[in-house]
């Protein structure tokens, strides 16, 4: 991948422009002046402008990922804001929200400010999510008000479920002060126990301890009820099971404030793929059955799930090159995201319109966080992804820009490729 400064005047010509905010698709050009949108559609060609031919390509908004782990501060050997930014650009992402389970966690206004300042040097927009409880210990709420003032866009103890229902209630109640989402990693720790993969016939075959789907769905149900009672904004991350989908679908009929995300890997893989014992497929929550995967695809199609988020979770080789029980949970996901979801949602299985898939990666996540979502207005700093939505490509390690390489997609043929990403005055070409 090559990253360069944007030319003063840049024309993206002959592209198919998909404006996911205004739901318009049309042929035309995009003119960027000093890194900002200067015109979209019929553009009077400025003299001396640099041109990029986008024939056969789609020009759309840069993607927004509500759920990444960039490991800074503390585990810079796995990822940093800078290396994570490169992975994001490779995947078409111009804006991400980083989870606070760092070392130390992002649980004070000072640590939120640290991320905000460091993010200024990065080529993408990085927003910190603050911890819900101090040290992610599950006992005392953090200074959410001050953290919000410093730029925290949501609150989560991601990686660690908020086990105590009363604590979750307090957090939701308190969050209404700021009116930002609370994101709870829903897994009942007692039910999960030592489970390392979905509990089912495959875990039985493999002799691996199982993590049942109801470990997730019962806590999702609890959270949905608490959200309804408190009037707070609940965002359910990485939904993995059919049962959770059912609860969310039901609650959404009476509570419009609930939102949910799904990861590409829960849409792409099922637990049969764990038969390889590939530790890169060891994630939390686990990859579940084909039936669950189908339910997730349906949930994306009918709007029960609002957006796609990668849960990009880099780990060192040592963390993953070990036995299944000892391996860390998580996989990287930014670089492979579009090819994976475009393949299953648009091309192979669900026949979802490309425009709709793009909304799941752009407008919808931005709306959840209250970010500007009408990105083709004149004067807006350019956040653009240039896509080849029909291109088949085999994912390999050269496509990885993350500092870590824990991906299960190596050798997989994906459909839909991010060609270029424009963000914060830079253009990245794959």
Catalytic residues: 311
Of 3, 146, 206, 347, the one binding another protein (CB under 8 A) is 146
| Subset of residues 87 to 106 that bind another protein, contact rule: CB under 8 A | none
Residue with tokens 């637990």: 271
| Subset of residues 215 to 244 that bind another protein, contact rule: CB under 8 A | 229-230
Decide whether 142 or 404 has the Cβ nearer to another protein. 142
Angstrom CA distances, 326 to 77, 137, 154, 269, stand at 19, 23, 31, 22
Q: Does 174 bind another protein (CB under 8 A)?
A: yes
- Smallest gap from residue 247 Cβ to another protein (A): 22
In 3-state terms, what secondary structure has residue 309? Answer: coil
Size of the site for another protein (CB under 8 A): 20
Residue with tokens 């105590």: 164
CA distance linking residue 273 with residue 227, whole number of Å = 35
- Smallest gap from residue 177 Cβ to another protein (A): 5
- What does 105-153 look like in DSSP terms, one character per residue? -S-SHHHHHHHHHHHTTSSSEEEEPBPSBGGG-SSSB--HHHHHHHT--
- Smallest gap from residue 328 Cβ to another protein (A): 29
For 271, list phi and psi in degrees, rounded to 5: -70, -15
Of 176, 276, 322, 348, the one binding another protein (CB under 8 A) is 176
Q: Does 191 bind another protein (CB under 8 A)?
A: no
CA distance linking residue 423 with residue 404, whole number of Å = 23
In 3-state terms, what secondary structure has residue 67? Answer: strand
Q: Does 168 bind another protein (CB under 8 A)?
A: no
- Smallest gap from residue 108 Cβ to another protein (A): 9
Angstrom CA distances, 81 to 43, 68, 237, 244, 397, stand at 36, 10, 21, 32, 20
In terms of C-beta density within 10 A (0-12 exposed, 13-18 middle, 19 or more buried), how is residue 379 classed? Answer: exposed
Judged by CB under 8 A, which stretch of 120-128, 172-180, 255-263, 400-408 contacts another protein?
172-180
What is the dihedral angle through the alpha carbons of 161, 231, 372, 239, rounded to the nearest 10 degrees?
40
Q: Does 167 bind another protein (CB under 8 A)?
A: yes
- Smallest gap from residue 78 Cβ to another protein (A): 29
Decide whether 118 or 134 has the Cβ nearer to another protein. 134
Q: Does 113 bind another protein (CB under 8 A)?
A: no
Decide whether 34 or 139 has the Cβ nearer to another protein. 139
Decide whether 174 or 268 has the Cβ nearer to another protein. 174
- Smallest gap from residue 178 Cβ to another protein (A): 10
Q: Does 145 bind another protein (CB under 8 A)?
A: yes
Element (H, E) at 226: helix 213-230
Q: Does 139 bind another protein (CB under 8 A)?
A: yes
Which residues are near another protein by CB under 8 A? 133-134, 139-146, 149, 167, 169-170, 173-174, 176-177, 229-230
């Amino acid at each position: 991948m090559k990253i360069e400064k944007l030319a003063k005047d840049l024309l993206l010509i002959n592209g198919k422009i998909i404006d996911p905010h205004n739901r318009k698709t049309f042929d035309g050009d995009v003119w960027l002046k000093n890194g900002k949108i200067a015109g979209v559609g019929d553009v009077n060609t400025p003299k001396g402008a640099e041109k990029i031919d986008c024939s056969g390509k789609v020009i759309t908004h840069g993607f927004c990922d509500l759920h990444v782990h960039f490991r800074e501060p503390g585990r810079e050997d796995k990822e940093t804001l800078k290396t994570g930014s490169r992975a994001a650009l490779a995947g078409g992402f111009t804006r991400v929200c980083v989870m606070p389970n760092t070392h130390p966690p992002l649980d004070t206004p000072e640590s939120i400010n640290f991320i905000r300042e460091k993010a200024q040097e990065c080529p993408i927009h990085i927003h910190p999510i603050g911890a819900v409880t101090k040290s992610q210990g599950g006992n005392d709420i953090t200074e959410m008000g001050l953290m919000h003032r410093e730029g925290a866009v949501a609150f989560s103890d991601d990686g660690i479920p908020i086990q105590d229902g009363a604590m979750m209630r307090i957090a939701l109640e308190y969050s209404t002060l700021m009116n930002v989402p609370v994101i709870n990693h829903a897994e009942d720790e007692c039910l999960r126990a030592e489970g390392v993969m979905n509990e089912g016939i495959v875990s039985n075959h493999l002799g691996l301890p199982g993590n049942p789907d109801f470990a997730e769905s019962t806590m999702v149900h609890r959270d949905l009820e608490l959200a309804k009672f408190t009037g707070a904004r609940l965002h359910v991350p990485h939904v993995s099971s059919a049962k959770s989908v059912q609860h969310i679908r039901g609650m959404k009929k009476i509570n419009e404030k609930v939102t949910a995300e799904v990861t590409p890997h829960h849409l792409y893989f099922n637990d049969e793929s764990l038969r390889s014992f590939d530790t890169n497929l060891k994630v939390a929550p686990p990859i579940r059955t084909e039936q669950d995967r189908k339910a997730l695809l349906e949930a994306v199609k009918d709007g029960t799930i609002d957006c796609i988020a990668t849960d990009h979770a880099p780990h060192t080789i040592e963390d993953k090159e070990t036995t299944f029980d000892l391996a860390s949970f998580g996989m990287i996901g930014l670089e492979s995201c579009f090819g994976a979801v475009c393949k299953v949602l648009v091309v192979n299985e669900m026949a979802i319109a490309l425009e709709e898939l793009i909304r799941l990666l752009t407008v919808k996540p931005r709306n959840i966080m209250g970010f500007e979502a009408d990105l083709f207005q004149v004067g807006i700093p350019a956040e653009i992804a240039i896509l080849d939505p029909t291109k088949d490509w085999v994912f390999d390690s050269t496509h990885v820009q993350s500092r870590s390489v824990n991906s299960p997609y190596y050798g997989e043929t994906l459909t839909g490729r991010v060609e270029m990403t424009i963000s914060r005055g830079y253009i990245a070409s794959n």
